[in-house]
Amino acid sequence: MYHSQAKKSGDRHLGLSIVILAAGQGTRMRSDLPKVLQPLAGKPLLSHVLACSKALDADDICVVYGHGAKLVQSYYANESLRWALQAEQLGTGHALQQAMPGTPDANRVLILSGDVPLLMPGTLSELLRETPPNDMAVLTVDMKDPTGYGRVIRKHGSVSAIIEDKDAGADEKAVLEINTGVMLCPAEALKRWLANLSNDNAQGEYYLTDIIAMAVNDKVTVHGIKASSPVEVMGINDKKQLAEAERALQARLVDELMSEGVGFADPARVDIRGTLTCGKDVFIDVNAVFEGDVELGDGTKIESNNLIRDSRIGAGTVVHSNCHIEDSSTGQNCEIGPFARMRPGAELASNVKIGNFVEIKKSTVADGSKVNHLTYIGDTEIGTGVNVGAGTITCNYDGVAKHKTKIGDNASIGSNVNLVAPVEVGEGATIGAGSTISRPAPANELTVARVKQTTVKGWKRPVKKGS
């Protein structure tokens, strides 16, 4: 927890406090999870607002919390934030009052909402830049259907009042310009205005918007600065709006990547739930999902229906359809899948092939090795130029602990082989198909471990009664 001290008065971009109103219950979400923790592109709504706030280099960020207090605070336990509890939900004005005791008088206060996650730092920077230090500003937007929103009333170009929808008359309801909930105020004046709020209205709440009239009465100019799009300032109140925001944010993320040269088969059928960094000539097919921090090298191709989480895919690598890759990495020119799974700790060097229905976990595979079919590789070191046959299993778990398998360079593992760890296969060794290997296999030798083949004469296959 912290709050800043006001910086030198000559710099209008310093001395900024950001207050995020995040105390609402969000009953329309019909969820036990607080509204501000509902996920959007893999992160809570509040995380998007915080990321935008931090981009403004504010010296004081305060979150007003209430519903689900313990959950919200614990989620951000490692963040350097100031917290203000709104124990009773008595309106937006009352919520802001809770943050004021720790806000320096000399600062400007930027008021944001924890359920408006698509705001861009550039929009807020413009709001700060275009508003003189002692003036007030409201971020507005024009809506085709403003029903339910507070209407912005202007006089001689400046904002003179904001009338809530339930209190608006017929003329006021015809206004298309609405309040987004984003405001910028001088802190000292804001504290005075908040102290004079009344709840004499249709909702019986302390409306933050009532401070507009107080500012006008104090001869403070209230600037109305319009956002470029209603999408950027949309609030999230239910699961339908959450889904709409998801698609809007995904479109924004994909547009940014396409502007950097990334190719998409269908921009509408990709989900980025974290950070996706791409090199040149990357192509992404439909229904790919990227979670956490993912890096795709130059010339990589991601085919359809893949999930890639917290992984690095090397240049020239192809990930065929229907693969699951998590906390893994590849070198250059690898081939993965289809239907392959790379679990945490899977590290491929260059020119490695991982084929269909192969699972790799906490293992390294060196240059040029191939694991093509129906195989499990766990806690294993595979050298260069190794070929692992179909149906091979590294038996790494004895029921208590995990053990390691080592396969030397240029070894060949036949089909349907069990390697019982801890075990080592020497360089250039060959393991015969169908073997269960539990002792070291020497280098450059053929090792076979099979039960002697026997034919049981006269044996009859059982048949069903009545056949």
How many CB atoms are closer than 10 A to CB 463?
Answer: 7
Contacts (Cβ under 8 Å, ≥6 apart) of 334:
313, 314, 316, 317, 318, 348, 350, 351, 352, 353, 354
Q: Scan for tokens 């509408």, then name that residue.
A: 268
Question: Is 324 one of the annotated active-site residues of the chain?
Answer: no
Which among 210, 201, 146 is positioned nearest to 174, based on CA atoms? 146
CA distances from 379 to 342, 366, 396, 398 (A): 12, 14, 7, 13
The answer to whether the beta carbons of residues 311 and 317 sit under 8 Å apart is no
* Alpha-carbon torsion (248, 254, 260, 264), positive or negative: negative
Determine phi and psi for 25, rounding to 5 degrees. Answer: -80, -35
Q: Scan for tokens 């923790």, then name that residue.
A: 37
Q: What's the CA gap between 267 and 251, in Å, rounded? A: 7
Determine phi and psi for 373, rounding to 5 degrees. Answer: -145, 135
The answer to whether the beta carbons of residues 158 and 165 sit under 8 Å apart is no
Q: Scan for tokens 């073997």, then name that residue.
A: 435
DSSP strand pairing (177-186 vs 263-264): unpaired
How many CB atoms are closer than 10 A to CB 22?
Answer: 29
Q: What's the CA gap between 326 and 258, in Å, rounded? A: 24
Q: What angle do CA 63, 178, 202 make, to 5 degrees?
A: 75
Which among 13, 94, 156, 373 is annotated as catalytic?
A: 373
158: enclosing H helix or E strand:
strand 158-163
**Which residues belong to the active site?**
373
